[in-house]
């Protein structure tokens, strides 16, 4: 009976913790860099460098830059995929709509900037289009994904820091890259206590599960303006 109960607890945790949802046309993404390609396009060090750059822009200006690398945007296509991903994830601060999404599709050999309402004056379509053509297209054609993405992000980030009104984001706290998933914390604590009873306190191995309850911080609830630019490589 005890083994059955313990097995039931294990199944319960697996259903709620550490099991990813089925693949969706429009993914959930997090601050700030999301490489969803198989195999991965960016190394962990490259992701870290990009996230540090995006964090600094966010901290200084409150504008949120999201970077998403995927194998394909089909069946939606890169324009609709970018619009839907932006809207689903609420990139940018709520009320300011100061988000920017860069999508790179490796199989389609295409890129797209999607600009939030609040940044359209700072990042007009001709500007982000030129950034893409100057930085993304040649580097991605040569297979230098990190260089192209980093240089393009640096260009738009510099434009935001220099020309977006920093007072617009005044009052927003510094972004949190990692936050506790309180729903899963409650589930695991409940299961932990149940297992402790069943095993008469020999449940110390479950402590490791608590370290998996942190998740990447999400975006601030902004909206897309449907503006931006796209290109191929």
Q: Are 42 and 35 in contact (CB under 8 A)?
A: yes
DSSP H helices in 104-179: 125-131, 137-141, 145-163
Q: At what angle do helices 2-16 and 182-198 cross, to 10 degrees?
A: 170
Residue 99 has pLDDT above 80, yes or no: yes
pTM score, whole prediction: 0.79
Does residue 28 lie in a domain region?
no
Question: Closest Cα partner for 76 from 99, 42, 110?
Answer: 110
Q: Please say if the pLDDT value at position 121 is more than 90.
A: yes
- Whether 64 is covered by a domain: the verdict is yes
For residues 100 and 168, membership in a common domain is answered with yes
Beta strand 224-232 pairing with 110-116: antiparallel
Strand order in the sheet with 64-70: 33-35, 64-70, 99-105, 110-116, 224-232
State whether 89 and 50 are in the same domain. yes
Do 149 and 88 fall into the same domain?
yes
Distance between CA atoms of residues 194 and 47, nearest Å: 39
Q: Is residue 107 part of a domain?
A: yes
Asked if residue 26 is part of any domain, the answer here is: no
**Strand-strand pairing, 110-116 and 178-180:** unpaired
> Is residue 167 domain-shared with residue 91, that is, in the same domain?
yes
Residues 129, 117: Cα–Cα separation, whole Å: 17
Same domain, yes or no: 93 and 139: yes
- Owning domain of residue 127: 33-175+218-232
pLDDT band at 69 (very low <50, low <70, confident <90, very high): very high
Q: What is the mean pLDDT of residues 23-45?
A: 93
Looking up residue 117, the CATH number of its domain turns out to be 3.10.310.50
Instruction: Decide if 85 contacts 26 (C-beta within 8 A).
Output: yes
CA-CA distances (angstroms) from residue 57 to 32, 51, 93, 166, 169? 11, 10, 13, 10, 12
Q: Which residue did the predictor score with more confidence, 3 or 47?
A: 47
Cα–Cα distance measured from residue 79 to residue 76, given in angstroms and rounded to the nearest whole number: 8
Give the pLDDT confidence score for residue 216 in this predicted structure: 84
180, 184, 187, 190: CA torsion to nearest 10:
-20
Mean pLDDT within 134-155: 98
CB 133: neighbour CB atoms within 10 A? Answer: 15
pLDDT value of residue 105 = 98
Rounded to an integer, the average pLDDT of 10-37 is 68
Overall domain count for the chain: 2
Residue 24 is assigned to a structural domain of this protein = no
Identify whether 58 is part of a domain: yes
pLDDT at 204 over 90: no
Give the model's confidence band at 209: pLDDT under 50 very low, under 70 low, under 90 confident, else very high: low
């Amino acid at each position: 009976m005890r083994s059955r109960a313990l097995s039931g607890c294990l199944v319960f945790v697996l259903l709620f913790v550490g099991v990813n949802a089925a693949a969706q046309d429009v993914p959930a993404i997090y601050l700030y860099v999301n490489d969803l390609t198989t195999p991965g396009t960016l190394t962990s060090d490259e992701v870290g460098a990009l996230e540090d750059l995006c964090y600094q822009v966010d901290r200084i200006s409150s504008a949120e830059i999201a970077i998403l690398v995927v194998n394909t945007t089909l069946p939606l296509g890169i324009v609709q995929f970018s619009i839907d991903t932006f809207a689903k994830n609420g990139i940018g601060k709520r009320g300011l709509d100061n988000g920017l999404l860069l999508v790179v599709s490796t199989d389609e050999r295409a890129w797209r900037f999607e600009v939030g309402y609040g940044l359209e004056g700072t990042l007009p379509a001709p500007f982000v289009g030129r950034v893409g053509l100057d930085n993304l297209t040649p580097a991605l054609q040569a297979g230098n994904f990190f260089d192209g993405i980093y240089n393009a992000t640096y260009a738009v980030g510099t434009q935001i820091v220099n020309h977006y009104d920093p007072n617009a984001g005044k009052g927003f706290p510094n972004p949190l890259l990692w936050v506790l998933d309180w729903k899963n914390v409650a589930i695991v604590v409940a299961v932990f206590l149940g297992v402790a009873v069943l095993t008469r306190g020999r449940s110390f191995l479950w402590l490791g599960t608590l370290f998996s309850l942190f998740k990447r911080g999400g975006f601030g609830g902004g909206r897309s303006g449907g503006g931006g630019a796209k290109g191929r490589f």
